[in-house]
Amino acid sequence: MNRVTGLLSRTLGMASMLVLATSLCMEETVPSGRSSPEGLPERPFRPPYGGPILPPRRIEGGSYYYDLAEVHKRYGVYDKAVEMLQTAIEKETDVSRKATYYESLSEVYQMQGKLKDAAEQINKALAGAQTLDEKCRYNAVLARICEQAGDLDGAKKAYQFVVANASRDAEKRSAELSLLRLYQRSGEIENVIADLEKKLEKNPNDEEALKTLAQIFNSVLRQPSRAQTIYEKLSKVRPNDITILNQLVFIYQTSKEYEKAAEVYQRIIEASPSPNKSYYYQHVSRMYMLAGKKDEAVRWAEKSLSEGKTSPYTYISVAQLYVQNDLVEKALQLYERAVAASQRPIEKHQIALRFADIFAQHKREDKAEELYKFVVKEATVPSLKSQARSKLIALYRKQGRTADAEALEAEEPARPSATR
The C-alpha angle 287, 288, 293, rounded to 5 degrees, equals: 155
In contact, 311 and 282? CB cutoff 8 Å: no
Is 140 contained in some domain? no
Is 346 contained in some domain? yes
Is 118 contained in some domain? no
Is 210 contained in some domain? no
**What spatial distance separates the first Cα and last Cα of the chain, rounded to whole Å?**
33
Domain count for the chain: 1
Is 300 contained in some domain? no
Determine the pLDDT at residue 15: 45
Each residue's pLDDT tens digit, 373-418: 999 998 889 999 999 999 999 999 998 999 888 888 887 665 544 4
Is 151 contained in some domain? no
Domain that holds residue 374: 321-408
Is 112 contained in some domain? no
Determine the pLDDT at residue 50: 53
Each residue's pLDDT tens digit, 300-348: 888 888 776 677 778 888 887 887 777 777 887 888 888 888 888 888 8
Is 150 contained in some domain? no
pTM score, whole prediction: 0.65
